[in-house]
Structure 1
Amino acid sequence: MAERAQDAGDAQGAGDARDAGDARDAGDARGAGDAQDAGDARDAGSAGDERKKLVARAGIVGAGTLLSRVLGLGRDMAFAALFSVRETDAFFVAFTIPNALRQLLGEGAVSSAVVPVLSGKLAKKDEGGDGEREARAFFASVRGVSLLALVVVTVLGMIFARELTDLFAGGYRARPLDFERTVQFTRIVFPYIFFMGSAALGMAALNAKRRFAVAAFAPGLLNVAFLAAAFLLPGPLARAGIDPGHAMVIGALVGGLLQVAAQWPALRAIGYAGRPRFRFSDPGVREVLRRMGPMTFGIGVYYIDLVLSRRFLSELGPGAQSYFAWAMRLCDFPQGIFVMALSTAALPSLSTFAARGELGELGKTYAQGMRLSLFVAIPASAGLVFLAEPIVTTLLQRGAFNAASAHETARALAWQGGAIWTVAAVRQLVPVFYAMGNTRTPVIVSAIDLVAFVGLAVVLRGPLGHAGISAAVAGSSAVQMLLLFAALKLQLPNVHAAEIAGSALRTLAASLVASAGGWLAAHLVEGWSAGWPLRLVWPGVAAVAAFCAVFIVEAHLFGSPELESLLSGLRRRLRRGKAPR
């Protein structure tokens, strides 16, 4: 994942007010009872506050991610209309390589290892220690190590662009022009990993300090750069005799740089923009590297998964990469708005509870996040399974993207969309293990997930083509979810399984009714709008509108507490926005 200054200031002011209120409440408690009672009251209040703030924090992250996803949707619409599938095939492979390394050197292993360690150091401040000074020194050291690794990886990636393309898209060897275009795109776009790795580390610091606004909104700048490049550059590039597809590559580089620049004022405001230190001996850095070891292996498994999926797709003819990628991007839309937002917002709280040994509170916070996540993810899965064709037609069918492309993308979307709820569950489960310092279990499960994916892909790509790869992704995600949940039950005294299952069943019932309403609306409008302007747009719009309306009504009738939780959080935020300053 720029209107950050005001948001960051508001978040800081609200945080200061809450801190002051907490201090006053603690003082009143001490005056009313003995020190132990006050400490208990303060701890209980702190745990409750963390859960209450989870929705608000996720709302901030979700709002920023929503903006980024809307812009990303515009980007995908522009790419589909303005570039051929051969050009987008090459770009999606080229961009996948540094984007996947970002999972290793940025948002994945590094961020998931840094946030718990940084949160632990900051917790010393609450205990009367000098946690802030230690945290800043640690962050300077880990930034130095990270920058060095990013430079090395970027240079190596540019040097070995041809070998990486052969690894990811060996099937393109049968289409030499496509292969050479992909090699060139890969070499040019590889510095993106340096920018995104730097931005991801800054995001870790901001999240650990509960500054979610900047980190949430900055990723939108990548899509702004993509859109500007897609509309402004193809013509001048073509006139200069340069492949117009380079516009997508240039957009990626500019977007990465903008994200780093957008974070800098907020990092400077919290004192985390100092010079990096190259101190490999720092105990905090060693702890991050210790945590990263198993995580790196786990993400390495994911990387193999990605290599194989891209390689399988490269052997399935022109367009397969693009259909798969567009379906994945449409799935990212609902996932990113709230599912990833909840996971991001929950990790600092989970890490704090784990550092204090409060496993009961950790379990309650995890359960709340899981219920809220599934309340969004289950209807998203149902909607994308039953309404894939009208959605894709509405969003993408124009220009170079024809009816055949829409149908093939919808096939991939139905399979990938059906797995959104399992992906959402995994994204709530994994941070719990990371918060508790257990990085081994997710790694083992990832390895099993890889085996499941390869087996399913080999079996399904024949009869289903590129959609078979999407089906394999869905099946392996279900395996990963079940294994992680079984492992978590062995580590937490209470995983609140009955509570989560009851919530999920209510949500599923509402989602199925909403899907029927959306399907009916799409078919009715398709018949009525035959002679209308933009006739391809209206069935999808009607389907989504009907689905959302029916789901909200059904969730209310089923008495889903998650609906009220989300609406009350929205109402509180709107009241704060209207309050006089």
Structure 2
Amino acid sequence: MPGAGGLLLPLAALNLAAAFLVQLVVLARIGPGSATDAFMAAATLPQMLAGMASAVLGSVLVPMLAGESGEQQSSDGWFLLLAVGAIFLAAAALLSLTADSWAGWLFPGFSADAARFCADLARIQVFSMAFAAMNSVLVAVCYARGQFVRVEAITLLVVGTSAGILYFSLPIHGIVAAAWTVTLTALFQMLLLLPALGRPRQMGSAARNASQAWKRIRPLLAGNIYHKSDVVIDRYLLSMAGAGDMTLFALAQQFHGAAAGLFGKVWGNTAIPDLAVCAKRGDMPGFVGLYRRRLAILALVGGACYILLLIAGQPALALLLGHGKTSAGDIATLWQLMVASGGVLLFGCVGVLVAGAYYALGDTRTPTYLSMASFTLFVAVKYFAFQSFGAIGVALAASGYFAVNTLFLAGLLPARLRNKVGTR
């Protein structure tokens, strides 16, 4: 992280805080209950598809674009932005039209009124996934150029502003204001990142490069749709739990996912372009050295944060939420869910680097197929854990999924590297 790298960590940390603050504002101003559960449920499919787009496009486009000329990156970026935007806008329109059907089917524990309210909120939020998918293309272009700070600065500006607006609009418009905030945040982030592409360019060669990208995307696509549906499984089960449990579980996942994303972004994603360059040059000692250094940092930072959560997490949550509409019991439940789902943090941040090492080698199949196998196993684990322990059981199963998937993937990497050397 040369140059502006010293700014990346504080900016990414502030983004983590801002994203968590948005959720805390909703919880403090409204309190966990059926309305916030409907809001979380309405975001399920948009979150799943946007998460899939981010994982697939980032994993494929960053290594592919790294080292290319600025003009070629811009040409490819415009072509992919328009293609991805068209696909996801069409999908959003379809989900909006069918919201009444899928909201009732996916969340069987909701009452008829709650399901209708969920569908109304979904019609607002589904278009956020199209803007988020287009953001994934723009972020990939910026990352391939090493412009990590630019992405974090724009994200902080947009999310921080959204948190402030949400604080004042929630008492007036209720949870509907949060749904609009989700969509408008994604839209304005996309608009602010768009200048990174420069003016539209000739796209003749971009179509050929997009064909190469599609070959790498295909093995990732089905697998990511499959294992990114964990949010659907979780909320399907939690719709049958107590009112507010889905909201508290989602907040715990938001914290761990954002923290893992922060550390993975700073010490994982920033390594992928360099790992890809090492792989292209055949510099395996350089590849392994960089990988091991970043792996050690991620393990230490993730472990330290989890220990801090154990020691000071509950008092910190009480300080943040104790003056709002969240009860002491809700705060205790939230902390327990965060502790139980700690594997999402510990192994999620490491997993960014481990999977990124495969992508830098041009191998998108191994991480995808292993994730699919792990996910299949833990669907059953989650079901039985929920039957026995409720929301805490789902949180424990989520930790187990991340742990098993990351450890197996890391264990297989040395053999993949030996094969890479042997084929040269």
On whether the aligned pair clears a TM of 0.5, the verdict is: yes
Structure 2 Cα separation of the partners of residues 386 and 314 of structure 1? 31
Structure 2 Cα separation of the partners of residues 473 and 101 of structure 1? 19
Aligned residue number for residue 12 of structure 2? 65
Aligned residue number for residue 95 of structure 1? 43
Structure 1 Cα separation of the partners of residues 4 and 413 of structure 2? 25
Structure 1 residue 278: Cα displacement: 7.5
| Residues 1:117 and 2:64 aligned together | yes
Structure 2 Cα separation of the partners of residues 460 and 236 of structure 1? 39
Q: Aligned pairs, how many?
A: 419
Matches within 5 A, 1:102-251: 102-105=50-53, 107-120=54-67, 122=68, 131-172=69-110, 175-237=111-173, 244-251=174-181
Matches within 5 A, 1:537-552: none
Q: Which of 191, 196, 203 in structure 2 is aligned with 1:261?
A: 191
Q: Which of 57, 79, 96 in structure 1 is aligned with 2:26?
A: 79
| Residues 1:352 and 2:282 aligned together | no
Q: SS at the partner of 2:199?
A: coil
Structure 1 residue 225: Cα displacement: 4.3
CA contact (8 A) 1:161 1:183 kept: yes
| Residues 1:275 and 2:200 aligned together | yes
Over 3 Å counting, the alpha-carbon distance change for 1:222 and 1:171 in structure 2 is: farther
Aligned residue number for residue 457 of structure 1? 382
Q: Percent identity?
A: 20
Structure 2 Cα separation of the partners of residues 389 and 292 of structure 1? 42
CA contact (8 A) 2:75 2:206 kept: no
Matches within 5 A, 1:315-330: 315-330=240-255
CA contact (8 A) 2:269 2:353 kept: no
Structure 2 Cα separation of the partners of residues 218 and 93 of structure 1? 28
Structure 1 Cα separation of the partners of residues 18 and 329 of structure 2? 25
CA contact (8 A) 2:31 2:324 kept: no
Structure 2 Cα separation of the partners of residues 437 and 298 of structure 1? 16
Structure 1 Cα separation of the partners of residues 175 and 203 of structure 2? 39
CA contact (8 A) 2:27 2:326 kept: yes
Aligned residue number for residue 422 of structure 2? none
Q: SS at the partner of 2:109?
A: helix
Structure 2 Cα separation of the partners of residues 333 and 281 of structure 1? 33
Over 3 Å counting, the alpha-carbon distance change for 1:179 and 1:367 in structure 2 is: same
Aligned residue number for residue 293 of structure 1? 218
| Residues 1:252 and 2:182 aligned together | yes
- Per-residue CA deviation, residues 426-448 of structure 1 (Å, 9 max, x unaligned), is 11100011111111111111112
- Per-residue CA deviation, residues 88-112 of structure 1 (Å, 9 max, x unaligned), is 211112223212211223x211122
Q: SS at the partner of 1:438?
A: coil
Structure 2 Cα separation of the partners of residues 276 and 94 of structure 1? 38
Letter in 1 for 2:86: L
Matches within 5 A, 1:2-21: none
Letter in 2 for 1:232: F
- Per-residue CA deviation, residues 359-399 of structure 1 (Å, 9 max, x unaligned), is 22111111111111112101112222444432332222332
Q: If you compute each CA radius of gyration, which structure gives the higher value, 1 or 2?
A: 1
Structure 2 Cα separation of the partners of residues 434 and 454 of structure 1? 26
CA contact (8 A) 1:389 1:406 kept: yes
| Residues 1:370 and 2:315 aligned together | no
CA contact (8 A) 2:269 2:352 kept: no
Letter in 2 for 1:180: R
Letter in 2 for 1:166: G
Length-normalised TM-score, structure 1: 0.68
Gaps of 5+ in 1: 1-52, 123-130, 238-243, 495-581
Length-normalised TM-score, structure 2: 0.92
Over 3 Å counting, the alpha-carbon distance change for 1:217 and 1:166 in structure 2 is: farther
Letter in 2 for 1:73: F
CA contact (8 A) 2:75 2:201 kept: no
- Relative contact order (C-alpha < 8 Å, sep 6+): which is higher? 2
Structure 1 residue 281: Cα displacement: 8.1
Please identify, of 469-478 and 273-282, the stretch whose mean Cα deviation from structure 2 is larger: 273-282
Gaps of 5+ in 2: 420-424
